Amino acid sequence: MNSKEIINKISKLSNQEKRNISYEDLIKYMNILNPEEIIELSNIIGYPVFTRLCMGVLNHKFVLLQDGAAAIILNDKNQILLQRRSDNDKWGLPGGCQELGERFEETVVREIKEETNLDVNENDLVLISVISGNERRKQYPNGDIVFNNTVLYLAKKYTGELKWNKESKVMEFFDFDNLPESQHDSDLIAAYLKSQKGN
């Protein structure tokens, strides 16, 4: 199999099939691909999954640093958009991990589109803060432990019809004084609220 065939084959796999690529097969693929093709493969699989696949038997034991971006999306009533996540049933912000070679603005625009179907222009994003440290430690249902370094943006301008993918059970706009109790990103919302004091 040549490099083009490898990339084509993996791009057609479902997300679950990509997660199940064996370490041995990955070694074979990586020995055929050049560095640019390895970056392309990582972006097709998704960087965190790709990194864990490269770890073989250590994949769920190794603690990862994950760089990513998230968005505070506000409607015209100043309500915040939250998604009820499928993996842990908690309410969180649209966002996700940065892919190789991606700028954070590109990450958040891509993730907003993938998770909400809304279109946001990079020029309309407002940087709120970069949140990192122990507060950003997360453990996922599959056992993965990560420390997320998250660039947080505000998006008030967007177009499109709100729809969600399999990562979410539902999406709703909430008043800030009536947020759901079970939150995945309470630290990010707190960072936004802190940034608004005095404004």
Per-residue model confidence as pLDDT tens digits over 115-149: 999 999 999 999 999 999 998 898 887 888 999 99
User: What mean pLDDT is predicted for residues 164-181?
Assistant: 89
**pTM of the full structure:** 0.88
pLDDT recorded at residue 198: 63
Of the candidate CATH numbers 3.10.450.630, 3.40.50.10860, 3.40.718.10, 3.90.79.10, the domain formed by 64-196 belongs to: 3.90.79.10
Give mean pLDDT, residues 63-81.
Answer: 96
Please give the pLDDT value at position 148: 93
Residues of the chain within CATH 3.90.79.10 domain(s) are: 64-196
Q: Tell the residue number behind the tokens 């999406």, with chain if given.
A: 171
d(C-alpha 93, C-alpha 75), whole Å: 14
Cβ-based burial of 27 (10 A; exposed 0-12, middle 13-18, buried ≥19): exposed
Long-range contacts of 131-134 (CB under 8 A, 24+ apart): 131/187, 131/188, 131/191
The percentage of residues in the chain with a pLDDT greater than 70, rounded to a whole number, is 99
**Is residue 8 very low, low, confident or very high in pLDDT (cuts 50, 70, 90)?**
very high
pLDDT of 60: 85
Residue 99 to residue 68: CA distance in whole angstroms: 8
Gap between the Cα atoms of 17 and 13, Å rounded? 6
pLDDT, the chain, mean:
93
